[in-house]
């Protein structure tokens, strides 16, 4: 009768106890197998979560970029429309000249302006331009004024009525019966004439904008669409989605919030949705949707391969660990010296890959590949920096273009105006001078964004003057700047004061509806004060979130320099923002000396 054999685990322990080498191999193998298995599964779980986070961040950022671009386009359209109405005001009451201006506007952007309608205060149609381009090229302004009246579309009349009672009006997006073209109606009042205001209604073609939105896709399932301020889809890749209400999880978008949500669709499964508000008068929102299953495809594909590769590396390292002890030291020293050189000099230095098939050789090659990728990344970062400079340059151009356009419009009608009313001509000439000075101030202000060092080097007095002149030109709100003393302050404090003043002015332009602003900078004892006051509509602090209306930005700026920020406001009584920064003892003594 043969004796029973001991269990496998006992035999392995007995075999490993024969020598230290075997014990090292067995213990290393057990450790690596367990550790690498845990790492592999952790990596897969982390990778899936990381992929979700990257998708969320990327799509939210992309939605924000698209919404800002739409806001910029609509603001540009609104600014052009307002410049057009100012032009009509200057030409009033010459209907023939106004008709010529309407024809010129239609011809200048035929794909954008489908129709131009001008009503008198009683709602009578004085002129309309909605002809084809070929027809307009043959028409004269006199033909426009003498042709038979037409039946005005109810949507145009609604824009007239809304603008008559509420000022500038932007309609919801509508689709035309012929061609299913997306349009909106923009109503703008002209200057009051005998107690009432004439109204100009522009029919804006959104087809080109919608086509660009349709072209923005992500992978196989990701796409972009736009919703109205009422929560209905107004731009969608498929016509069947138009007019549908948004999902409940996306309703924060209607309150002006940006974010990310998930919901389950019966046909598409789990959907990841990023959203961002467009803002402005349109009240639109941008939504980017993508299937969660597509996001997880890379993780699913690489899961088995990752586990297999890591297990193979674990066994290979365990088998070679004892024999490779003596060969490990020298390569590690080489790699350590190289990494120390990189840490000391910052130069990405590649090493010659070692002709070895073990982990050290793999480490050498991986290190070399890492350096190569870092060099590539460094080049990409330089490219991104160049693109950012180009972007700021474009913003510099766009910021000044509207001001110069206004100046050119005034200059165009100045000779005729001078013959009629020299006094008004003098005033308009002074306005051109103010616009050109404002354009120069806007360029300098934007150059501060392009060159932060210039912002640090400039004096606070100069910065505030440039900011005030640029703001006054852009928003046509008078700003009274008062600076009592040359207040010495560090660059950090100077930048914070400048940014707080900038944000306060932005808040006034966006929310206050003010007609007068004052900025006061003064020194008192060992403190420096900045105060911004407007005579706008004010607000109730008790019903305002701390982070709204730019309050969060100003609070954060003041906290960074250890300053005290106070905001006093009541509905109908304007707003006063005061920043008090107390100089450190040493700095106060130096200023006193």
Q: Rounded distance, CA 199 to CA 209, Å?
A: 26
* Pair (465, 395) in one structural domain: no
User: Which pLDDT score, from 0 to 100, does residue 350 have?
Assistant: 65
* Pair (121, 35) in one structural domain: yes
Confidence grade of residue 495 (pLDDT, cut at 50, 70, 90): confident
* Pair (430, 553) in one structural domain: no
Domain end marker among 305, 323, 341: 323
User: Which pLDDT score, from 0 to 100, does residue 325 have?
Assistant: 47
Count of Cβ atoms closer than 10 Å to residue 575 Cβ? 25
pLDDT digits (tens, 9 = 90+) for 219-231: 888 899 999 989 9
* Pair (431, 467) in one structural domain: no
| Higher per-residue confidence, 342 vs 293 | 293
| Higher per-residue confidence, 271 vs 319 | 271
* Pair (101, 130) in one structural domain: yes
What mean pLDDT is predicted for residues 296-314? 66
| Higher per-residue confidence, 368 vs 173 | 173
Domain end marker among 323, 348, 363: 323
User: Would you say residue 142 lies in a domain?
Assistant: yes
User: Which pLDDT score, from 0 to 100, does residue 581 have?
Assistant: 92
* Pair (18, 81) in one structural domain: yes
Please say whether the beta carbons of 537 and 545 come within 8 A: no
* Pair (277, 419) in one structural domain: no
| Higher per-residue confidence, 466 vs 79 | 79
In the block, residue with structure tokens 């009422």? 230
User: Which pLDDT score, from 0 to 100, does residue 20 have?
Assistant: 45
Please say whether the beta carbons of 441 and 473 come within 8 A: yes
pLDDT digits (tens, 9 = 90+) for 236-254: 988 888 889 999 899 999 8
* Pair (125, 151) in one structural domain: yes
User: Would you say residue 93 lies in a domain?
Assistant: yes
* Pair (113, 225) in one structural domain: yes
User: Would you say residue 422 lies in a domain?
Assistant: yes
Confidence grade of residue 467 (pLDDT, cut at 50, 70, 90): confident
Percent of the chain at pLDDT exceeding 70: 71
Cα-Cα end-to-end distance for the chain = 108
Strands (E), 461-537: 479-483, 517-524, 527-534
User: Which pLDDT score, from 0 to 100, does residue 440 have?
Assistant: 67
What mean pLDDT is predicted for residues 248-267? 90
Within the chain, what is the greatest distance between any pair of CA atoms? Answer: 131
Q: Which domain holds residue 238?
A: 7-323
Peptide bond preceding 93: is omega within 30 degrees of 0, i.e. cis? yes
What mean pLDDT is predicted for residues 205-212? 89
Strands (E), 133-232: 169-170, 174-175, 182-193, 196-205, 217-218, 222-227
User: Which pLDDT score, from 0 to 100, does residue 144 have?
Assistant: 81
What CATH number has the domain bearing residue 26? 3.30.450.20
User: Would you say residue 268 lies in a domain?
Assistant: yes
Q: What's the mean per-residue pLDDT of the chain?
A: 79
Confidence grade of residue 494 (pLDDT, cut at 50, 70, 90): confident
Please say whether the beta carbons of 182 and 203 come within 8 A: no
User: Would you say residue 2 lies in a domain?
Assistant: no
Please say whether the beta carbons of 511 and 536 come within 8 A: yes
| Higher per-residue confidence, 152 vs 592 | 152
Q: What burial class does residue 334 get, using C-beta atoms within 10 Å of its C-beta: 0-12 exposed, 13-18 middle, 19+ buried? A: middle
Strands (E), 221-353: 222-227, 233-235, 259-265, 269-277, 285-291
Question: What does the block give as tokens for 214?
Answer: 């349709």
Please say whether the beta carbons of 310 and 359 come within 8 A: no
* Pair (375, 524) in one structural domain: no
Domain end marker among 298, 323, 348: 323
User: Which pLDDT score, from 0 to 100, does residue 533 have?
Assistant: 94
* Pair (317, 363) in one structural domain: no
pLDDT digits (tens, 9 = 90+) for 12-66: 666 555 454 556 556 666 766 677 677 766 766 676 677 778 888 888 899 999 9
The H or E element containing residue 564 is strand 564-569
Please say whether the beta carbons of 280 and 71 come within 8 A: yes
What CATH number has the domain bearing residue 480? 3.30.565.10
In the chain, the number of structural domains is 3
| Higher per-residue confidence, 358 vs 88 | 88
pLDDT digits (tens, 9 = 90+) for 157-201: 999 999 988 889 999 999 988 778 999 999 999 875 555 678 999
Confidence grade of residue 305 (pLDDT, cut at 50, 70, 90): low
User: Would you say residue 101 lies in a domain?
Assistant: yes
* Pair (211, 332) in one structural domain: no
User: Would you say residue 71 lies in a domain?
Assistant: yes
Confidence grade of residue 449 (pLDDT, cut at 50, 70, 90): low
User: Would you say residue 250 lies in a domain?
Assistant: yes
pLDDT digits (tens, 9 = 90+) for 536-587: 888 887 766 655 656 888 888 899 889 999 989 888 888 999 999 988 765 5
């Amino acid at each position: 009768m043969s004796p029973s054999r001991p269990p496998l685990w006992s035999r392995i322990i007995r075999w490993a106890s024969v020598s230290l080498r075997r014990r090292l191999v067995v213990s290393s193998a057990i450790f690596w197998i367990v550790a690498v298995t845990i790492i592999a599964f952790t990596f897969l779980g982390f990778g899936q979560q990381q992929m979700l986070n990257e998708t969320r961040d990327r799509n939210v950022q992309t939605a924000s970029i698209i919404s800002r671009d739409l806001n910029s386009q609509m603001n540009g359209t609104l600014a052009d429309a307002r410049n057009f109405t100012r032009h009509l005001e200057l030409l009033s009451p010459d209907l023939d000249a106004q008709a010529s201006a309407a024809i010129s506007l239609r011809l200048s952007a035929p794909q954008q302006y489908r129709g131009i309608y001008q009503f008198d205060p009683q709602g009578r149609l004085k002129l309309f331009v909605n002809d084809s381009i070929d027809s307009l090229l043959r028409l004269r302004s006199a033909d426009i004024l003498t042709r038979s009246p037409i039946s005005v579309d109810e949507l145009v009349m609604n824009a007239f009525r809304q603008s008559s009672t509420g000022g500038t009006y932007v309609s919801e997006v509508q689709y035309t019966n012929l061609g299913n073209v997306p349009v909106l109606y923009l109503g703008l009042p002209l200057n009051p004439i005998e107690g009432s205001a004439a109204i100009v209604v522009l029919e804006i073609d959104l087809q080109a904008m919608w086509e660009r939105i349709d072209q923005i896709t992500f992978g196989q399932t990701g796409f972009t669409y736009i919703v109205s301020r009422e929560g209905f889809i107004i731009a969608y890749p498929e016509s069947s989605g138009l007019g549908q209400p948004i999902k409940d999880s996306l309703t924060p978008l209607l309150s002006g919030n940006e974010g990310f949500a998930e919901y389950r669709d019966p046909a598409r499964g789990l959907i990841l949705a990023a959203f961002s508000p467009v803002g402005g008068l349109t009240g639109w929102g941008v939504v980017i949707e993508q299937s969660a299953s597509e996001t997880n495809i890379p993780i699913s594909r690489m899961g088995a391969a990752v586990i297999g590769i890591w297990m193979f590396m674990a066994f290979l390292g365990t088998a070679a660990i004892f024999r490779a002890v003596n060969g490990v030291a020298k390569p590690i020293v080489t790699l350590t010296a190289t990494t120390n050189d990189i840490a000391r000099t910052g130069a990405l230095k590649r090493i010659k890959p070692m002709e070895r098939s073990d982990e050290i050789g793999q480490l050498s090659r991986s290190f070399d590949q890492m350096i190569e990728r870092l060099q590539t990344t460094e080049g990409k970062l330089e490219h991104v920096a160049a693109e950012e400079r180009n972007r700021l340059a474009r913003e510099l151009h766009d910021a000044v273009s509207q001001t110069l356009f206004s100046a050119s419009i005034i200059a165009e009608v100045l000779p005729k105006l001078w013959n009629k009313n020299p006094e008004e001509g003098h005033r308009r000439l002074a306005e051109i001078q103010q616009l050109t000075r404002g354009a120069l101030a806007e360029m300098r202000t934007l150059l501060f964004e392009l060159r932060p060092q210039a912002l640090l080097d400039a004096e606070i007095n100069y910065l505030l003057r440039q900011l005030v002149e640029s703001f006054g030109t852009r928003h046509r709100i008078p700003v009274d700047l008062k600076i009592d003393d040359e207040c010495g302050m560090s660059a950090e404090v100077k930048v914070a004061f400048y940014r707080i003043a900038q944000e306060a002015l932005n808040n006034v332009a966006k929310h206050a509806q003010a007609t007068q602003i004052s900025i006061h900078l003064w020194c008192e004892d060992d403190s420096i004060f900045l105060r911004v006051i407007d005579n706008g509509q004010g607000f109730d602090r008790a019903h305002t979130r701390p982070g709204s209306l730019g309050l969060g930005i100003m609070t954060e700026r003041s906290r960074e320099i250890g300053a005290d920020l106070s905001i006093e406001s009541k509905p109908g009584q304007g707003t006063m923002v005061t920043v008090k920064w107390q100089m450190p003892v040493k700095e106060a003594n130096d200023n006193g000396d």
